[in-house]
Amino acid sequence: MIEIKNLSKRFEDKWAVNDVSLTIPSHKFCVLIGPSGCGKTTTLRTINRLHTPSSGQIFIDEENVLELKVTELRRRIGYVIQTVGLFPHMTVAKNIGVIPRLLKWEKKKIQRRVNEMLILVGLDPSEYASKKVYELSGGEAQRIGVARALAGDPPILLMDEPFGAVDPINRSLLQDAFLKIQRELKKTVVFVTHDMEEALKMGDLIAIMDEGKLVQFDSPLNILSRPKNDFVKSFFGSERILSRLSMLRVGDFVEDTRVESASFVDVSTDLREVFIRLLSSDTDSVLVKRKETVIGSMSLERLKKLSMEGYHE
C-alpha cells in the first residue's frame, strides 16, 4: 500500500504539487491524470525519491520512504518511462538483468529470470536475449523496459507515460499486454498519463490533478457517473461516454464463452448497466444469455474499448 499524506513540492517560485493526499491499496492500478503541468509526474517521482518532497510524507506499507536509503528504496520499485531508458551498450538480456545483478542473484537464476520476463512480455528469449537495443522497434523496446522493471520482482511499479511515444496500434497492443501481465502478477501500479481513454482502460483507481492539486480520486465508475466538478466533467466527457453505452445492447458485442463467471445478463441489457455492474463487482466479465442459452460473454476490457470508440470532439 502507498500512502501519500499532504504532499507538496516546490520548484523555485512555483508549487508543482500542493497538499496532495491519497492512498493506493496494494495490488491496485492507480492512474494519475491531468493536463500538462498539473503535477502528476512530480507526484510519481516523489514515491521513489527522484524528487524530494518540500513537505508531506510518503509511506510504503507503513515505512516512511524518506527514512529509507535511496538505493534500497529504488531496488524495491520498478520504474518505466516514456523514453524507455535502456542501456545502449548492453544486450537485451543484460538490460533485463540489471536489478537482479545488483541484488546479487546467482547467474543461473538471473538467466532464468530474463527468459521468464521475455516470455511474460511476449518476446521469444532465443530471438531477443542477445539483441542490442538499436535492433529493437519502439514497441519491442517498451516491452523490454517493462520486463526490466519487473525482473527484480518489485511489489510496486511506477510508469510515467510508458506508451506515449509509441504509435496508436502498438500502444493499444502494449496496453493489452500489460493489463494481462497485471492480472497475473497483481503489482501495485502508479501510472501517469494525460490520455483519458488510456486512464479508463487501465485504471482501477483514477487520480485527477490540476494545477498541483488533487481534484478527484475515485473509481472509473464514480468519476464517470459522479464527477466532482465541471473540470472533471469536461475532462472525461462522462455524459457522452455513458450516453453512448446506454444506446448499445450487449447482445451486439458478445465475445467467446471461455470465461469464468457466475454472472449473467440478457442480450437486451444496455452496455451502461453492464459497465456499472462490472466496475462494482469482483469479476471482469459476464455471460450473455438469449432466453436460456449462453451465447457469449462481455468483458470489462472490451466494454471500456467500446465506450471510447468514436469519442472525439
pLDDT digits (tens, 9 = 90+) for 78-109: 998 876 678 888 999 999 999 899 889 999 99
Q: Is the pLDDT of residue 214 over 90?
A: yes
CB neighbour burial string for 13-45, b if at least 16 within 10 angstroms, e if fewer: eebbbbebebebeeebbbbbbbeeebbbbbbbb
**Single-letter amino acid code for the residue at 289:** K
What's the pLDDT band for 57 if we cut at 50, 70, 90? very high
Interatomic CA distance for residues 242 and 224, integer angstroms:
8
- Do 184 and 33 contact (CB within 8 A), yes or no? no
Interatomic CA distance for residues 193 and 200, integer angstroms:
11
Interatomic CA distance for residues 227 and 232, integer angstroms:
6
Strand partners, 11: 14
Question: Considering Cα of 24, then 30, then 34, then 36, what sign does the dihedral take?
Answer: positive
Cβ neighbours around 241 below 10 Å, total: 22
**If you ran DSSP here, which 8-state letter would residue 269 be given?**
-
Residue 310 is predicted with a pLDDT of 43
Query: For the chain, how big is the Rg over CA atoms in Å?
Result: 21
What's the pLDDT band for 271 if we cut at 50, 70, 90? confident
| Cβ-proximal residues to 154 (8 Å cutoff; 6+ apart), any chain | 75, 76, 77, 78, 99, 187
